[in-house]
Each structure stands twice: as C-alpha cells, then as structure tokens.
C-alpha cells in the first residue's frame, strides 16, 4: 500500500466524523436565523405567553400549544412510565429465558411501528372508543395521552432494562443473603441502584412524547386554543408546525419556524438532562 | 439469575411472601399490558387490512380512484437507497474514526459524541423544517427526492454510527494486534480485518436505519412533498409509503385503503426487525465462539 493512503484516509475518516458536528451547527443556524427574528417581531412575551393564535389577524401566541405539549406529554408519562419501568423490571429480573426471546423482539417491534400506523390505529380504535364511552368527539387530549403513552413504552423499556442490567450482581446477592426475597431484593436494592438510569429512561420518553408529530395530529383534534379538558381537543407544538406550514407565508411562516425553535430548545434541555443522567449511571 | 429455588419461598415468613407475590404480580401485569397492546394493534390492523389488499392498490399508476400505493412503494425504495448511499458511508467512516483512530479525551471526539447524541434526540419534524429551510429553500433543490434523502440521511446518521461503533468495539483487540504484528498498517487492518469481522453488526444498524426511513413521515412532508408519482429525476417531488398513508387517512375517504397500506407498512417493519435481529444474532454467535 502506498504511503500517502494512510494519512489521506485518516483525514477522510475524520471529515466523516465531523459530519454530525456540521449537521447540528447547520440545524441550529438555520432554525434560529429563520425563527428568532419572528419572535422579536412579535415580542418574546406575546409569542411565548400569548393565549391567542390567530394567523388571520396576525396574532401569534403559542402558549396554548406549549401547554398542550406539556399536558399531553405528562399524560403519556402517567401511562407509559409505570408500565414501561415495571415491564423493564420484569424483562431484566423476572422473566424466564424462553419468554424473553419473545418479549425482546416484541418491544423492538413496538419501537419500529411507524407513527402514522400508530396514529391510524388511534384514529380507528381509540378515538371511537373515547367518543362512545366518555363523550365528546373522541379526538381529544385523553386519546393523545393514551396513544403517546403506548408509543413511548419501547423507549422507556429499552433504556430502563439496560440500566437495570448494569447494576452489579452483588447488590442483589447481598440482599438475598440478608434474607430478603427475590422480589424484595430486586425492588429494594437493584431498582434504587439503577435510579439514574431509570430517570434517563423517563427523560428520553419525555423527549419522544414531546417530539411526536404525526400520531398526535391524527388523534388530538388540534384546536388552537387553551386546552379545556381531557375530552376536548388539544394542539401541540409539533402539530402546529405541520398543520399550518403548508399554506403559511411571511410572518405566519416565520412564527411557525419560531414554534420549531421553541420545540428545539425544549429538546436540547431534555437531551442535556438525558446525557447527564446517562453519564451518571454509566450506561 | 432469574429465580430463587422453590424451597426458598416456603421458608419466607408470611408477610414477606405476600409482598413478594404482589411485587411479582405488578411486573407481570405490566408485561401483559405491553404485549396485549402490541398484539391487539398488529392483529387488529392485519384482520381489518388484509381483505382490502386488492390488486388495484398495486397498479402502476396512481389515480384518485384506485389510490394505488405502487408509486409510493417505488418511491420508498428509491428514498431508502439514496438516503443509505449518503448516510451509510458517512456513519461507518465516522465510527471507524472514533473507534480505530481517535485518541481518548480528544476534544474533537467529545464534540462528535455530543452532537451525535443531540442528533439522535431531535424530533423528525425539526429535521423536516431544517430540510425545508436548507435543502429545499437555500440550496433550491425544491420539494424533491434528493432533499428528502439528505434530510433522512442526517436523521439516521446517529443510528448507523452507534451500531457500527458497537460492532467495531466488539472486534477483539487480538485481531488488530495480529494484523499489526504481520506488518499491516492501520488502514489495511481496518479494511481487511476489523470491518469484515464487524459486518453483521454494521448491517444490523443499517437495517434499523432502513426501518426509520420507511416509517418516517414528518421529516418528509415539507422536504420531499406528497406527489404520488414515480419521480422523473432526483429533483422531482415524491411521496413515500408512510406519507401516502398519512394523506389517505387524513382525507378520510379511503379508510379501507388506509388499512391495507397499514398492513403493508406493518409487514415491512416486521420483516426489517426480524432481519436486523437475525443479522445481529449472527454477530453474537460469531464473536462468542
């Protein structure tokens, strides 16, 4: 092999590694450059805390959408966290090997199903169910919470399971030796030891829920006003962008990009929290 | 260590036993819920959708009557190939740099890791908007196959990088030392020894990336658009199968066809998942031996 090849390829590899840095920079620059001017034109207070979103009369307040995203995410966590964490405990500590061989691919499939399919499922199953049993149109905050709760399950299960498996075996054994049952040992010594990892799982779940778009649009009703109740429609930040971007222009369009900036900042905070927790739990 | 011996339970005093049973019961309940939801979703869509998989859904030309998904299927294949063509070399090369070349504690490496993690957490709609602002508007590529492919390539880059990194790390250092000992350089070692050994792991990652591409909607609506035709060139607008399904179900006129499309998507995703874990399993077997 010729001598120049070695250093040349080294540079090629390094340049390739630089792609993700470049991509993040470009994403930041383009989002902020296109979104921030609108925020200042509208006024940060009016934009972030304004309760009215009426592009027709040039009123752009995204507070209802921020609250909508937070409510829907909280609801999803209420469903997804207990089920997901307990499922992770089951998979890491309780389930027999033969069952694990079936459960692992099952959670992976849950992660692989496209969000449109989830959205469609919500539309044809959960929406009518809510409409017939609880009233309202069915396209509601509750429906979105349930659907998102299902969708974040695989994320939570995956991270939580590896966090539980990363706990040194002697914690468990020590607890057994002190006379605790298998169950007590798992819940009172393994689970607490995996705390940061389990928190990381929840935080990643929050990120998934707040960023989910298509499935939410299909089931949440999307009314751009302050959320009024579990059975009323709600619009999230993500939905706001997709629904109106197609026909927007000028300040309206910029306000939508600014909505994405707000979402992006949320995600950056969540990502930061996630990597912090991840480092602490040595995942 | 999953189970304590049976005799052990009998020796547990009564209150402890009750707690044990309760704790075990809640974990089992969680598992039952998870599996039941998955089974219900899959079975429901298969049962409702399979009867609607009619031949006219697979005609070559899309009309608003037959709402054929054939162009969307072809577009999905094209989109996948194109995105992989961009993302796979980049992802694999960066992983090679991180694992085989970079020194520990290097600032550049730290920056690469942080940004990769950031990329992995960005929601697809943000990618979609970025693609719209950068590829579609700034580079003037319009709503097109290529704008969509570049957007998706950035999106799956972290997936491919992470799995490739793990696959490379799983190659025992003995292999590298043996190769160096025989006088091979680093580059030669990477391409003739390390990469071939890591192929199954890398493939598993690439297949996972394919899954993300096939299922993506939000990142494509404003980058590749929604035209239901096979593209004439890299610069024509296309809709992939997921976008097709979104358009169908949103219009609300084609519920049956939406079910059928959902079936196709589900089957593709199940196939991709099975393939990925089969390939990854082979890696485990090989490195275990």
pLDDT tens for residues B173-213? 999 999 999 999 899 999 999 999 999 889 988 998 999 99
Identify the pLDDT of residue B57.
84
pLDDT tens, position by position, A181-225:
899 999 999 999 999 999 999 999 999 999 999 999 999 989 988
Q: Is B179 on the interface with A (CB under 8 A)?
A: no
Interface size A-B, in CB pairs within 8 Å, comes to 270
- The angle at the Cα of B74, spanning B68 to B76, to the nearest 5 degrees, equals 105
The ipTM (two decimal places) reads 0.92
- The percentage of chain A sitting over the pLDDT mark of 90, rounded to a whole number, equals 82
* Confidence band for B251, pLDDT divided at 50, 70 and 90: confident
What one-character DSSP code corresponds to residue B52?
A: G
C-beta atoms of B125 and A150 within 8 A: no
> Do the Cβ atoms of A234 and A144 come closer than 8 Å?
yes
Higher pLDDT, A74 or B61: A74
Report the gap between the CA of A248 and the closest CA in chain B (Å): 12
Position B67 scores a pLDDT of 84
Q: What is the mean pLDDT of residues B221-230?
A: 88
User: Does A103 contact B269 at a Cβ distance shorter than 8 Å?
Assistant: no
Mean pLDDT of chain B: 88
Comparing alpha-carbon positions, the chain A residue that sits nearest to B90 is A16
- In sequence order, the 6+-apart residues with CB closer than 8 A to the CB of A251 are A38, A41, A42, A58, A60
- Domains in chain A, please, with CATH? 47-280 (1.10.3720.10)
In B, which residues are within 8 Å of A19 by CB distance? 90, 94, 157
pLDDT band at A251 (very low <50, low <70, confident <90, very high): very high
Can you give the pLDDT at residue B83?
A: 96
User: Does position B5 have pLDDT exceeding 60, yes or no?
Assistant: no
Stretch B115-119: mean pLDDT:
92
The reported pLDDT for the residue numbered B11 is 58
**pLDDT above 70 coverage of chain B, percent:** 92
Burial class (CB in 10 A: 0-12, 13-18, 19+), B274: middle
Chain A closest CA to B98's CA: distance in Å? 7
Section A93-108 average pLDDT: 93
Mean pLDDT for B82-102 is 94
Note whether B45 contacts A117, CB cutoff 8 Å: yes
Residue A207 with chain B: CB contacts under 8 Å: 121, 123
Q: Would you say residue B105 has pLDDT above 80?
A: no
B148 has a pLDDT exceeding 50: yes
Mean pLDDT of B251-277: 90
Q: What is the mean pLDDT of residues A62-81?
A: 96
Chain B from 223 to 242: CB within 8 A of any A CB: 242
Query: DSSP secondary structure string, B161-210?
Result: HHHHHHHHHTS-HHHHHHHHHTT--HHHHIIIIIHHHHHHHHHHHHHHHH
Residue B289 pLDDT: 39
Q: And the tokens for A70?
A: 């937070």
Q: What is the C-alpha separation between B149 and B219, in angstroms, rounded?
A: 10
Provide mean pLDDT across the span A17-36.
94
Triad A67, A235, A78: Cα angle to 5°? 60
Interface test with B, best of A148, A149, A183, A237 (most B CBs within 10 A): A183
Q: Do B2 and A90 touch (CB under 8 A)?
A: no
Nearest CB among B134, B187, B216 relative to A5 is that of: B187
Residue in B with minimal Cα distance to A4? B187
pLDDT in tens, A133-157: 998 888 999 999 999 999 999 999 9
CB distance A138 to A220 below 8 Å: no
**Are A113 and B269 an interchain contact pair (Cβ–Cβ within 8 Å)?**
yes
Distance from CA of B1 to the nearest CA of A (A): 8
Check residue A278 and give its pLDDT. 85
What's the CA gap between B217 and A112, in Å, rounded?
13
Model-wide pTM > 0.95:
no
Three-state DSSP class for residue A248: coil
Asked if A106 lies within 8 A of B33 by C-beta distance, the reply is no
Residue A13, CB-side half-sphere exposure with 13 Å CA sphere? 22
pLDDT over threshold 90, residue A66: yes
CB-CB under 8 Å, A30 with B133 = yes
Q: How confident is residue A283, by pLDDT bands cut at 50, 70 and 90?
A: low
Q: Which of residues 182-201 of A touch B (CB under 8 A)?
A: 182-184, 186-187
Q: pLDDT band for position B252 (50/70/90)? A: confident
If one compares B74 and A249, the residue with the highest pLDDT of the two is B74
- pLDDT at site A78: 96
A273 touches B: beta carbon within 8 Å? no
The residue of chain A nearest to residue B15, with distances taken between CA atoms, is: A181
pLDDT over 80 at B286, yes or no? no
Output the pLDDT for position B270. 93
Q: Given CB atoms, is B217 within the 8 Å cutoff of chain A?
A: yes
Mean pLDDT for B120-139 is 94
Whether residue B262 lies within 8 A of chain A, CB to CB, comes out as: yes
């Amino acid at each position: 092999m010729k001598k120049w090849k070695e250093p040349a390829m080294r540079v090629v590899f390094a340049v390739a590694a630089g792609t993700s840095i470049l991509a993040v920079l470009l994403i930041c620059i383009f989002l902020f450059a296109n979104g921030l001017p609108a925020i200042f034109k509208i006024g940060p207070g009016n934009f972030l805390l304004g309760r009215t979103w009426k592009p027709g009369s040039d009123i752009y307040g995204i507070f209802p959408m921020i609250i909508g995203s937070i409510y829907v995410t909280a609801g999803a966590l209420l469903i997804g966290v207990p089920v997901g964490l307990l499922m992770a405990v089951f998979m890491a500590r309780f389930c027999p090997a033969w069952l694990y061989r079936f459960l692992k691919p099952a959670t992976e499939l849950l992660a692989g199903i496209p969000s449109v399919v989830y959205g469609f499922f919500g539309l044809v199953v959960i929406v009518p169910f809510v409409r017939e049993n609880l009233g309202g149109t069915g396209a509601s905050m509750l429906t979105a919470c349930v659907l998102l709760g299902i969708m974040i399950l695989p994320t939570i299960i995956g991270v939580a399971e590896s966090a539980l498996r990363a706990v040194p075996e002697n914690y468990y054994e020590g607890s057994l030796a002190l006379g605790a049952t298998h169950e007590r040992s798992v819940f009172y010594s393994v689970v607490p030891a995996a705390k940061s990892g389990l928190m990381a799982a929840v935080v990643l779940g929050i990120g998934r829920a707040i960023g989910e778009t298509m499935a939410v649009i299909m089931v949440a009703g999307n009314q751009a006003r302050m959320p009024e109740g579990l059975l009323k429609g709600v619009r999230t930040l993500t939905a706001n962008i997709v629904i109106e971007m197609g026909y927007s222009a000028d300040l309206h369009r910029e306000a939508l990009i600014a909505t994405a900036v707000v979402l992006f900042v949320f995600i950056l905070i969540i990502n930061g929290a996630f990597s912090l927790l991840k480092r602490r739990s040595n995942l | 260590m999953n189970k304590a011996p049976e005799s052990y339970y009998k020796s547990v005093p009564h209150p402890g036993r009750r707690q044990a049973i309760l704790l075990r019961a809640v974990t089992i309940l969680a598992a039952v819920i998870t599996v039941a939801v998955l089974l219900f979703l899959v079975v429901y869509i298969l049962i409702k959708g399979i009867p609607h998989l009619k031949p006219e859904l697979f005609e070559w030309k899309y009309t608003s009557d037959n709402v054929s998904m054939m162009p969307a299927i072809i577009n999905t294949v094209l989109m996948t190939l194109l995105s992989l063509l961009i993302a796979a070399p980049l992802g694999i090369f960066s992983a090679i740099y991180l694992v085989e070349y970079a020194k520990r504690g290097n600032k550049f490496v730290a920056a690469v890791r942080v940004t990769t993690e950031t990329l992995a957490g960005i929601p697809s709609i943000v990618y979609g908007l970025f693609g719209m602002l950068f590829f579609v508007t700034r580079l003037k590529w319009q709503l097109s196959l290529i704008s969509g492919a570049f957007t998706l390539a950035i999106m799956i880059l972290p997936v491919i990088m992470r799995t490739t990194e793990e696959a490379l790390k799983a190659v025992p250092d003995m292999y590298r030392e043996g190769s160096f000992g025989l006088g091979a350089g680093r580059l030669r070692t990477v391409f003739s020894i390390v990469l071939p050994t890591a192929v199954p792991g890398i493939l598993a990652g690439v297949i996972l990336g394919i899954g993300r591409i096939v299922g993506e909607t939000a990142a494509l609506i404003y980058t590749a658009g929604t035209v239901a035709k096979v593209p004439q060139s890299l610069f024509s607008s296309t809709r992939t199968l997921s976008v097709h399904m979104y358009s169908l179900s949103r219009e609300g006129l084609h519920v049956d066809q939406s079910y059928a499309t959902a079936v196709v998507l589900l089957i593709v995703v199940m196939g991709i998942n099975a393939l990925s874990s089969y390939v990854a399993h082979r890696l485990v077997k090989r490195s275990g031996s």
